[in-house]
Amino acid sequence: MKKTPTRLADGRELVYYDVRGDRGATGRDAVDRRPLDAVATASEIRHDPLLGEWVAVTAHRQARTYHPPADECPLCPSRDGRLTEIPAEDYEVAVFENRFPSLAGPPGPAEAEDESGLFLRAPGAGRCEVVCFTSDHDASFADLTEERAALVLAAWTDRTAELSALPGVRQVFCFENRGREIGVTLGHPHGQIYAYPFVTPHTEQALRSAAAHRERTGGNLFDDVLAAERADGRRVVLETDHWTAFVPHAARWPYEVHLYPRRRVADLTELDEDARAEFPGVYLELLRRFDRIFGPGEPPTPYISGWHQAPLGPDGGKDWAGRTDFALHLELFTIRRTSGKLKYLAGSESGMGVFINDVPPESAAQRLREVASR
């Protein structure tokens, strides 16, 4: 892999990733000629005293780019006199700091804004990046070659290492939202990476469950769930030498798949070469099956896909019990429950956090096996 860092006109970092530096890597020294003002953010995080969770408040994001026409896409290469976020005339994979980040800047102390100390706020520290998987505006991740998918994995891994080293960062989340139904506002195939200044609520809950399981059984919860799913078999979607994909026993979403490496690791930086080599074929197969769930002639399936990685300790360290108990895995799901119908998060889900799934997980797994590549 060839990595080429540079800067955009407003000082934000841009990194090109190429399979090899001697092929197709021209123009990586192109200068961003746009007259951009420096990025101004107003991000803060506020603590919810009832739920014990942090919420980001980001007024500046109201002005972010919203559904531009294809010929004004900011993620396409800069060509034919049109300047974009990526100055090169072509690229393989490109990662840059988001111009409208939810989190940005160095950490700072939490401060109470009332005498009771209940209402805490702190700087919305961290970093948000955009990952462009290809320069082809009309493609999707599922259209990538295995070589290009491996390059995206290498970029995710490199960014995880870089962002984990930033002061105040507790967790790194690499993810993709695909489809307008999900809320995507840019049609170009891309994902994002968030570096949070706290451990996310989803992970906090998983760590509490893992700690209770270890106390009760002496085992690792993630290892035991994976072993139980493999032993049961009804919800396993596909298995290889180094990966297992399954619909979880208590899936929340109509079609939801969790992908685990066979060997437990904390984050992407710890994957061995065999797992890395096998991942592109496995992941591309899963994405292509998702696009076949609802039959021929259906529009592409909207989905969210994200890597759940172990958090860092309060001091940024890796020798922390919450980290060693965690297992890297990818979660992939769609909000489409059947042809032409979406699953909305209505009263029970949004109001109380109690999900109601119309598709039995065993049926979802069966369907995902039926649409395997022949």
Contact 153, 302 (CB under 8 A): no
Q: Is 190 a catalytic residue?
A: yes
Instruction: Count the neighbouring beta carbons within 10 Å of the beta carbon of residue 367.
Output: 17
Using CA atoms, how far residue 270 sits from 171, 202, 286, in Å, is: 15, 22, 22
Q: CA–CA separation, 259 vs 279, rounded Å?
A: 10
Run of H or E residues at 329: strand 329-334
Q: CA–CA separation, 121 vs 110, rounded Å?
A: 5
| Residue 173, token pair as written in the block | 């989340």
The SS3 call for residue 142 is: helix
Question: Exactly one of 188, 190, 258, 308 is catalytic; which is it?
Answer: 190
Listed in sequence order, the residues at least 6 apart from 98 whose beta carbon sits closer than 8 Å to its beta carbon are: 128, 129, 130, 192
Nearest partner of 2 among 17, 22, 23, judged by Cα: 17
Using CA atoms, how far residue 162 sits from 77, 196, 328, in Å, is: 25, 13, 17
Which residues belong to the active site? 190
